[in-house]
Structure 1
Amino acid sequence: MKRSQHLIQGSTIIAVFSVILLTACSNDLSRIKAKSLIVKHNNFPISEYYELEKNHFKMLEKTGAVIAAPMKKEVEEILQYLENNKLIEIQRKRKESSTWMGRYVGHKMMVFIPKKNKKYILKENKHSYNLKTCDINFHKITGIKTYNDYNYAEVEYELKRENWTPFGEFFKTKKPSIIKKNVTMVLYDDGWRIR
């Protein structure tokens, strides 16, 4: 009888220490837990987009001190690429203006999205289109630095651009496929959370 009492007490002590050990280990921030928190917090995958204005003006010639900003070179390249690849249609109207300050001639350009490409419009208003370029998805955790005395951790991770749309092909070589990020996570009584 005494022997079975000692076995029961010994088993109870082992069980208590196991629970304490498991509880202590559960406060460690694993890569799996960090990934889960990041993905949940950011709702990956997310869509990246390019905001394309519907109206543009391209200066053809200018005399005098006319104040009219020229089209940015990058915007001109994007419009040309999209139009050449039949992703957009551009309606051009010649516009001239003369004032006491000078004269300018240019094209007012109105951008339209053909029906077959409307599936890439994430949002539209009267001034612009938000055109999906790709998905951004969680890639991997690259490092975790835990500060146990202060109950927080710095987590470094990478995101990856993928599933490029025809509108995104222009940007594919101009944007990195891997995006490096970091986040602070804090240990609360109920577990780890993103700060």
Structure 2
Amino acid sequence: MSRDLEDLVVLTGGPGAGKTTLIAELQRRGHRARPESARRILKDQALFGGRATGPTDPALFAETIMAWEVRTWVEEQACEGRVFFDRAVPEAAAMLGLPPPAHFARAAARFRFARRVFIAPPWRAIYVQDEERTQTWDEALATDAACRAAYAFFGYELVELPLANVAARADFVESHCGL
């Protein structure tokens, strides 16, 4: 079976921009979704004092995220219909800078997604820090810029989400996806 890449839809943006909340709303509406890998990896690493965290070992953290994202993409090849990803391979590929290391670039070239990627812009009114989201507002802005650069570098078109409530954002995504 050949998977239609347009069914593999990515939501991206800096931390605290509302991606996870939007993913939860899309799931509530009956859509399939894949969670963000970094938060799960950080929780797992904290359980045993692992080194695969950004501050401890950025290269290992990037490799671990890439492995997670590739595995998720491969698992989705056996499924049908639309699925929404909370981040994806291109961001992992760009974590160590652009241009990325060769094997990261190969992964981004091989494991493709829908050409249009939805980006949640930085939104100060909803930004909060928590146990895993320790970035400052300025770091969140820098991450947003890095996300934009990563997807542009790998040839994706960014569609900016409106600064609106989660229902309006979900309507926007569904409309742009023909749902």
TM-score category, normalised to shorter length: under 0.3
Structure with more of its chain in helix, by fraction: 2
With structure 2 as the length reference, what TM-score do the two structures score?
A: 0.21
Structure with more of its chain in strand, by fraction: 1
Larger Rg: 1
Considering Cα pairs closer than 8 Å and 6+ residues apart, tell me whether 1 or 2 has the greater RCO.
2
